[in-house]
């Protein structure tokens, strides 16, 4: 177990022993966490004592902390029993979630739905469904010291966000370890990413409301033995991730890969590609498809790429007969990229790379902001759009198959029937074998369900 110090454990244990201060609510084994959330006021901390809690927790208030109390190795555990979809959903801003064990859910461990100023740390998430930790459409967040395994899409998935640090997590036995998707200003630092299908990915998914992915620093990570069989939903974006991928950059711009230890990933150590690499994905004219201005600085790499693409292996053999491994391959049409000490690596496709002028990102300590960003105030006539961005778009891109059908397919099925779509959102059923059953969104108010259905049926891209 990584990331939870003895001092932290003592602190939370003391909180359980001492009298509860004003602004703190205690949940004991056998009680409901959701009841405490319903009773909480902005600024309150909810302390959850060790026990097993069989529920979904939804936080639609601002400035709430959900903090587990770990005593003598006993954790508060949210148990999904493979019948519940989500463990914790939050749409409020200023949310902190820490010290929870989350197991056996079908949908998500912790999902943020357009909440800003979030902190998700010291959680232990096992076999929690599609995504382990998934902040979507949020600004100014920190994800640190979590341990995640057994996730069928991405253990940590930062989607359509700005200013997020992902620090000192351990992710393993999942399809993707850490994904930075359609996100700007993100740091992935000091993580142990091992035994996944793919380790760390920075990429653009076409058809999402946010069209760009740029300014990502991937540094000081251990990216090791990511050779797990891909068990993602067939046809989804992540199902195309090749077994044995260390770090993948696909269409993302201004990505820095620095000071990582990248070893024994059998497909490639660092792979750089454009959107054309995934032939089954429809392009988005508003998403520029090439990864531009990639910087590769001072990484330690060995034992990668033994089972690389045949054309990559052939190119290596032409240059270095008998060479078994490939550290880096760029098969994109990107421009403006650079590398330090190119001769340190066995590489393909780096002829157009210049020598980087910068040697380190050490001066950039964090991309989180010193002051909280404003809490989103959503006007009544914007509720449908906000719900689509913050909830629906993470699984329903406009024209691309993700976890759920593309928005275009939903429009074809429900055009002119927003009430029927709103009813399905509240109480879905499994309709198609090629998609998992959608989690019920009945925690969303009836008026917002109708508003998002109306917006979804008229959105054009």
pLDDT digits (tens, 9 = 90+) for 391-405: 776 677 776 666 678
Per-residue confidence (pLDDT) for residue 183, from 0 to 100 = 98
Q: What percent of the chain has pLDDT over 70?
A: 87
Per-residue confidence (pLDDT) for residue 1, from 0 to 100 = 40
pLDDT band with cut points at 50, 70 and 90 for residue 13: very low
Average pLDDT over residues 130-137: 95
β-bridge partners, 76: 51
User: HSE-up of 105 (CA within 13 Å, CB side)?
Assistant: 36
pLDDT tens, position by position, 329-343: 999 999 999 999 999
Per-residue confidence (pLDDT) for residue 329, from 0 to 100 = 97
Can you tell me whether residue 240 is helix, strand or coil?
helix
Q: Ranked by mean pLDDT, which of 217-231, 264-278, 404-418 comes out on top?
A: 217-231
Average pLDDT over residues 230-245: 84
Residues ≥6 apart with Cβ < 8 Å to 334: 272, 274, 290, 291, 292, 293, 294
Name the pTM for this structure.
Answer: 0.86
Per-residue confidence (pLDDT) for residue 230, from 0 to 100 = 93
Give yes or no for residue 11 having a pLDDT over 60: no
Q: How many residues does the chain have?
A: 461
Can you tell me whether residue 301 is helix, strand or coil?
strand
pLDDT tens, position by position, 142-189: 999 999 999 999 999 999 999 999 999 999 999 999 999 999 999 999
What domains does the chain contain, in order, with CATH numbers?
194-377 (no CATH), 380-458 (1.10.760.10)
pLDDT tens, position by position, 21-55: 559 999 999 999 999 999 999 999 999 999 999 99
pLDDT band with cut points at 50, 70 and 90 for residue 56: very high
Per-residue confidence (pLDDT) for residue 300, from 0 to 100 = 98
Can you tell me whether residue 385 is helix, strand or coil?
helix
What are the backbone angles phi and psi of residue 168, rounded to the nearest 5°?
A: 55, 40
- Identify the residue with better confidence: 257 or 387: 257
pLDDT band with cut points at 50, 70 and 90 for residue 282: low
Average pLDDT over residues 282-288: 72
Burial class (CB in 10 A: 0-12, 13-18, 19+), 280: exposed
What is the DSSP secondary-structure string of 146-166? -EEE--SSEEEEEES-EEEEE
Give yes or no for residue 363 having a pLDDT over 50: yes
Average pLDDT along the chain: 88
Per-residue confidence (pLDDT) for residue 379, from 0 to 100 = 66
Give yes or no for residue 20 having a pLDDT over 60: no
Per-residue confidence (pLDDT) for residue 402, from 0 to 100 = 63
Per-residue confidence (pLDDT) for residue 18, from 0 to 100 = 36
- Identify the residue with better confidence: 388 or 267: 267
């Amino acid at each position: 177990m990584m990331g939870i110090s003895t001092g932290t454990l003592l602190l939370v244990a003391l909180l359980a022993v001492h009298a509860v201060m004003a602004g703190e609510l205690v949940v004991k084994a056998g009680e409901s966490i959701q009841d405490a959330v319903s009773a909480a006021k902005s600024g309150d901390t909810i302390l959850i004592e060790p026990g097993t809690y069989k529920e979904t927790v939804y936080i639609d208030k601002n400035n709430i902390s959900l903090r587990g109390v770990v005593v003598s190795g006993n954790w508060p555990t949210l148990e999904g029993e493979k019948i519940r979809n989500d463990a914790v959903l939050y749409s409020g801003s200023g949310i902190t979630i820490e010290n929870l064990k989350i197991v056996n859910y079908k949908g998500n461990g912790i999902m943020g739905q357009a909440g800003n100023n979030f902190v998700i740390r010291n959680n232990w998430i096992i076999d929690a469904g599609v995504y382990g930790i998934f902040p979507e459409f949020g600004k100014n967040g920190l994800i640190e010291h979590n341990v995640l395994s057994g996730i069928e899409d991405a253990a940590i998935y930062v989607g359509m966000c700005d200013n997020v640090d992902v620090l000192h997590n351990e992710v393993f036995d999942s399809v993707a370890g850490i994904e930075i998707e359609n996100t700007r200003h993100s740091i992935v630092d000091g993580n142990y990413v091992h035994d996944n299908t793919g380790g760390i990915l920075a990429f653009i998914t076409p058809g999402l409301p946010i069209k760009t992915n740029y300014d990502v620093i991937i540094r000081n990570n251990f990216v090791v033995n990511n050779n797990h069989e891909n068990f993602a939903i067939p046809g989804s974006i992540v199902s195309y991730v090749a077994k044995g991928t260390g770090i993948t950059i696909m269409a993302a711009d201004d990505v820095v890969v620095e000071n990582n230890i990248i070893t024994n990933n059998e497909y490639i150590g660092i792979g750089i590609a454009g959107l054309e690499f995934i032939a089954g994905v429809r392009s988005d004219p508003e998403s520029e498809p090439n990864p531009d201005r990639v910087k590769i600085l001072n990484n330690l790499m060995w034992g990668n790429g033994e089972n690389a693409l045949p054309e990559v292996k052939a190119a290596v053999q032409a240059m270095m007969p008998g060479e078994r491994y490939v550290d880096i391959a760029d098969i994109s049409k990107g421009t403006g990229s650079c590398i330090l000490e190119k001769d340190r690596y066995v590489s393909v496709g780096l002829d157009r790379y210049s020598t980087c002028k910068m040697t380190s990102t050490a001066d950039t300590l964090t991309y989180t902001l010193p002051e909280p960003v404003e809490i989103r105030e959503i006007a009544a006539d914007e509720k449908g759009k906000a719900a689509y961005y913050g909830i629906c778009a993470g699984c329903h891109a406009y024209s691309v198959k993700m976890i759920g059908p593309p928005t275009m397919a939903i429009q074809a099925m429900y055009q002119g029937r927003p009430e029927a779509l709103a009813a399905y959102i509240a109480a879905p059923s499994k309709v198609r074998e090629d998609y998992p059953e959608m989690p019920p969104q009945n925690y969303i108010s009836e008026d917002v369900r109708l508003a998002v259905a109306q917006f979804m049926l008229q959105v054009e891209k």
